[in-house]
Amino acid sequence: MAVPAEHVRKLREMTGAPMMECKKALEEANGDPELAFTILRKRGQASAAKKAGRTAAEGLVGYYIHPGSKIGVIVEVNCETDFVARTDEFQQLAHDLAMQICAAAPRFIRKEDVTPDVLEQERAILRDQAASSGKPPEKLDQIVEGKLRKFFEENCLYEQHFIKDPAGTLTVRELITSKIAKFGENITVRRYSRFKVGEGIGKAASESAPPGEVAQ
């Protein structure tokens, strides 16, 4: 089917994918923009998986200071070449990620980074809550795993919903995946620190949070 150029342009703005890929996705989706968007996201995930093992030693440090200067974030975002790191789009990505961390205050970068003790503690709490609400014992494990997904969405940067996505369906992981597909390079968040005025007063000045957690 013939796909209007305006539809291709809008899909490109939504995904950052090349024009020809957007055109192909729209043709495959019979002109349905939402289905085409899903197709491109799946392709991006496959592309990102192939590049995940590649070394990303370049990049930059992005930052965001919230109006009022009470909360600030610095974040290291890595890519494979200095050429990509210098692009406006990559710099915007780093800024957006810093803004995300400022607004959503994740405790970890990825769900794989959640420490075993935190995970077991959360499982125990969720299991007790489910049991006390009268849920059948045979359903407890299933309920706990379902609620753990919510825990990851709230506490892990990559699993959070991207705050600048109007639809509220795009995760940070999918945002980064779309940039990997566009640039053809592995892109990863290595570490970050989030500072809030007055937070942690009374603790030792030298105390710091583990990489990827909120700095005190």
Shared domain check, 184 and 103? yes
Tokens of 214: 């909120």
Shared domain check, 134 and 66? no
Shared domain check, 24 and 5? yes
Q: How do beta strands 71-79 and 58-65 pair?
A: antiparallel
Shared domain check, 70 and 162? yes
128: domain CATH number?
Answer: 1.10.286
Show pLDDT as tens, one digit a residue, over the chain (216 residues).
Answer: 678 888 888 777 666 667 788 888 888 888 888 788 878 777 765 555 566 667 788 999 999 999 999 999 999 999 999 999 999 999 999 999 999 999 999 999 999 999 999 998 988 888 888 777 777 777 777 888 888 888 999 999 999 999 999 888 889 998 998 888 888 888 999 999 999 998 878 754 444 444 454 443
Q: Which residues pair with 209 in a beta bridge?
A: none
Shared domain check, 163 and 214? yes
69: domain CATH number?
Answer: 3.30.479.20
Domain stops at, among 18, 33, 51: 51
Shared domain check, 215 and 171? yes
Shared domain check, 197 and 172? yes
Kind plus residue range of the DSSP H or E element containing 7: helix 5-15
Shared domain check, 82 and 29? no
d(CA 168, CA 162): 7
Look at the chain and report how many structural domains it folds into.
Answer: 3
Domain that includes residue 145, residue range: 115-152
Q: Answer yes or no: are the C-beta atoms of 17 and 182 closer than 8 Å.
A: yes
Shared domain check, 109 and 121? no
Q: Answer yes or no: are the C-beta atoms of 84 and 58 closer than 8 Å.
A: yes
Shared domain check, 125 and 108? no
Shared domain check, 86 and 27? no
Q: Write down the pLDDT at residue 49.
A: 59
Shared domain check, 75 and 163? yes
